[in-house]
Amino acid sequence: MISKRLNKSTAKKVEKYVRKRTLLDRFEDLIEDTRFEDPYYYVWRKFKFHNWNPRILYRQTKYGVQNLIRWFPVIWTDRDWDWRYYLEMQIKKLEGMEKSIRSGHHVYGWRDADNIKKVLFALKRLEADDYHENAFINHDRKWGKINSSFGEKDENNCREWIMNRSNAVTDKEKEQERKESRKLFKHSEYMKKQDLEYANKIITKYLFHWWD
């Protein structure tokens, strides 16, 4: 008796479920039950999963138009003779990926989105390229702003570019200022290289995790 009741209950649930299914779902099941070598099966698979399926075509067209609008300002101003334009495109792409993965279905999406954000911080610092200015803030306060001038022409019709600072008057002060400047130049280049290596390290380690 228990077995018969369970069977009747299961049958009712199945019948109720079947009634709710759409005509398209039933047709898909009918096609799926056919053999793989059946030409109708091949045509249906092509129609279902390729771009000329009306639903897929609509989504692809919509997404493509959104891409054109989103990327138009970047592409319009892009040039091939400066590394800044490469960084600008990379930053734009990672910004979109960070937003998509953070709000997507990925199990650890928040963690991967945070890693992308770390890369973005480093790349944006590289794009701004303020390493020299930041390194020389206190140096400029101590020695004053740079004053530049050109010397007399030599036999090759070239001029010497002379740079000095207002607070470096004596030869000893000028030598000290130049010594400190060389250290700060090395430090600013070190900070730039560090940001680039940090961004590449995260990309190398986590790039293939960034999908949703």
Domain ranges in the chain are 81-212
For residues 13 and 81, give the distance between their C-alpha atoms in angstroms, rounded to a whole number.
67
Q: What is the pLDDT of residues 60-102, one digit of tens each?
A: 888 889 999 999 999 999 999 999 999 999 999 999 999 999 9
Q: Give the Å distances, CA to CA, from 127 to 69, 85, 184, 190.
A: 23, 9, 20, 16
- Location of structure tokens 């430090």: 187
- pLDDT, position 1: 46
| pLDDT at residue 180 tops 50 | yes
For residues 18 and 62, give the distance between their C-alpha atoms in angstroms, rounded to a whole number.
33
Residues 6+ apart with CB under 8 A from 102: 109, 110, 113
How is residue 116 annotated by DSSP? H
| pLDDT at residue 30 tops 60 | no
- As a whole-number percent, the residues of the chain with pLDDT over 90 amount to 43
- pLDDT, position 9: 63
Mean pLDDT of the chain: 81
Question: pLDDT-based confidence at 203, cuts 50/70/90?
Answer: very high
For residues 201 and 22, give the distance between their C-alpha atoms in angstroms, rounded to a whole number.
50
Question: pLDDT-based confidence at 106, cuts 50/70/90?
Answer: confident
| pLDDT at residue 5 tops 60 | no
Residues facing 162 on adjacent strands:
149
Cα-Cα-Cα-Cα dihedral sign, residues 185, 186, 191, 196: positive
For residues 163 and 180, give the distance between their C-alpha atoms in angstroms, rounded to a whole number.
15
For residues 203 and 59, give the distance between their C-alpha atoms in angstroms, rounded to a whole number.
30
Phi, psi of 85 (to 5 degrees): -70, -35
